[in-house]
């Protein structure tokens, strides 16, 4: 049973709403990325005199968050072009997030002078979990790359 003309019209309307929803989400990712970027540099300038190590750590953390937001923005653009969602960008986001966490753990250990043995073991366990996540996601990305060919973007007319 094929859809009626009225149903087709409703489907097209719903697809337009979906498209505008993705556009709104993509623009939001981009704006949020720009805000985090500006705020990160603002905080860096304010904190640099108090301690360059802490200021650099905060800036690096913010910049990695910007990269994650831009990757999500790129995912939305690719979806709007191809109407397909790929697993690859989400693997990239996971890797970046795990690296961000690992760098934060290392910096916290370095900047914190007095670390108890229990706290050190917690940091070490957290770091090992992050490394495991990074390795698992890199392997998944490699396997995904072997199995799937890149999607050719649809040329907009």
In tens digits, the chain (157 residues) has pLDDT values of: 787 888 888 989 999 999 999 999 999 999 999 999 999 999 999 999 988 888 898 899 999 999 999 999 999 999 999 888 888 889 999 999 999 999 888 887 777 777 888 888 888 899 999 999 999 999 999 998 888 666 565 555 5
Per-residue model confidence (pLDDT) at position 147: 80
Per-residue model confidence (pLDDT) at position 151: 56
109 neighbors 84 (Cβ within 8 angstroms): no
Per-residue model confidence (pLDDT) at position 154: 54
Burial label, 98 (beta-carbon count in 10 A; 0-12, 13-18, 19+): buried
State CA 108 to chain mean position distance. 22
- The model's pTM is 0.78
> Which among 102, 100, 112, 106 is positioned nearest to 60, based on CA atoms?
100
Cα dihedral sign, 14-19-20-25: positive
Per-residue model confidence (pLDDT) at position 146: 84
Residues near 32 by beta carbon (within 8 Å), at least 6 away in sequence: 69
* CA distances, 74 to each of 64, 80, 118 (Å): 15, 10, 41
DSSP letters spanning 2-27: PPPHHHHHHHHHHHHHHHHHHHHHHH
Residue keyed to tokens 């003309």 = 5
């Amino acid at each position: 049973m094929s859809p009626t003309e009225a149903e087709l019209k409703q489907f097209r309307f719903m697809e337009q709403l979906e498209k505008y929803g993705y556009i709104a989400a993509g623009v939001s990712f981009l704006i949020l990325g720009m805000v985090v970027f500006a705020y990160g540099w603002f905080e860096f300038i304010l904190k640099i005199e108090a301690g360059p190590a802490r200021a650099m750590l905060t800036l690096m953390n913010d910049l990695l968050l910007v990269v994650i937001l831009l990757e999500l923005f790129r995912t939305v653009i690719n979806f709007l072009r191809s109407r397909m969602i790929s697993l690859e960008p989400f693997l990239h986001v996971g890797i970046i997030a795990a690296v961000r966490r690992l760098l934060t753990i290392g910096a916290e250990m370095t900047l914190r002078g007095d670390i108890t043995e229990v706290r050190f073991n917690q940091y070490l366990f957290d770091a090992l979990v992050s490394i495991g996540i990074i390795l698992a996601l890199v392997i998944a990305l490699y396997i995904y790359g072997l199995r799937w060919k890149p999607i050719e973007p649809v040329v907009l007319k």
